């Protein structure tokens, strides 16, 4: 899960990075030269080393409620319905160096049991970061929301090979290939119908977790939709040409419980 805002003046960008997203980092995480510590999905700066790269990343190694997890043995529960108030918005794509992200605008919201979240952005991982009963999907989209108290709620939309997905067409036809987190790279005039991206059935798995990239902060409410949606193999390939693998390894569930709505 990566979190970044739409481009802001430099000072605002640094102040809002943690709330805005995973690939972005709070000002406190910046190194002495003003740049965020470098991390990757493999090699010497890969997931096994994240907790050692910077003191602010320590939770990546020491946290007890880390994400992603293998969702298995979920307990059936009468969970509140996910009520999406999603509409259309201008398409605003950014390659932040770790994923391709769609920055949100307007009043697109999620209500869960009376708790209201505003959509900040959504982004992609391949393969899916979370697994379902040991199986990882081809991709996942993480829809990142924030409530009035600044708490994050992330909805995971699992993506599998199948028919071309017209709702995602504008995104996958215009994926920016070069990293530039400060400059959206979207042709003018394109829009996105957010509601059309979601599956017909909105049952979900619920668990407590964390950001899935440094600084791996915990206290994130996760809601993974149980019904996947399809992308064509060509659409999946378009993303993998840019990011062949950008998923964190599975983390221990520990004493957490996973709940499943009907």
CA 156 to the chain's CA centroid: 7
Choosing from 35, 38, 64, 98, which is the catalytic residue? Answer: 98
- The answer to whether 221 and 151 have CB atoms below 8 angstroms apart is yes
Structure tokens at 119: 């959509």
Distance in angstroms (rounded) separating the CA atoms of residues 201 and 114: 20
35 has catalytic annotation: no
Residue 127 preceded by cis peptide, ω within 30: yes
Burial class (CB in 10 A: 0-12, 13-18, 19+), 138: buried
The pairing of strands 100-103 and 229-231 is: unpaired
Place of tokens 């602010």: 56
Closest-CA residue to 123 (of 12, 43, 6): 6
Catalytic machinery residues: 98
């Amino acid at each position: 899960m990566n979190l970044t805002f739409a481009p802001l003046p430099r000072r605002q960008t640094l102040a809002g990075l943690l709330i805005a997203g995973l690939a972005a980092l709070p000002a406190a995480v910046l190194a002495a030269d003003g740049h965020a510590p470098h991390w990757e999905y493999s090699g010497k700066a890969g997931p096994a080393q994240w907790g050692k790269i910077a003191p602010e990343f320590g939770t990546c190694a020491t946290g007890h409620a880390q994400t992603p997890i293998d969702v298995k043995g979920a307990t059936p529960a009468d969970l509140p319905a996910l009520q999406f108030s999603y509409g259309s918005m201008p398409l605003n794509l950014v390659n932040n160096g770790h994923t391709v992200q769609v920055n949100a605008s307007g009043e697109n919201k999620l209500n869960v049991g009376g708790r209201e979240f505003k959509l900040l952005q959504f982004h992609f991982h391949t393969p899916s970061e979370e697994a379902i009963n040991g199986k990882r999907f081809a991709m996942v989209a993480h829809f990142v929301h924030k409530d009035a108290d600044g708490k994050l709620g992330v909805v995971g939309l699992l993506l599998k090979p199948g028919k071309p997905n017209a709702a995602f067409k504008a995104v996958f036809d215009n994926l920016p290939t070069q990293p530039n987190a400060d400059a959206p790279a979207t042709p003018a005039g394109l829009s996105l119908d957010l509601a059309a991206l979601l599956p017909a059935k909105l049952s979900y798995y619920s668990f407590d977790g964390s950001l899935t990239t440094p600084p791996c902060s915990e206290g994130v409410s996760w809601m993974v939709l149980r019904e996947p949606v399809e992308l064509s193999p060509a659409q999946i390939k378009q993303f993998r040409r840019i990011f062949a693998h950008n998923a964190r390894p599975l983390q221990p569930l520990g004493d957490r419980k996973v709940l499943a709505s009907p």
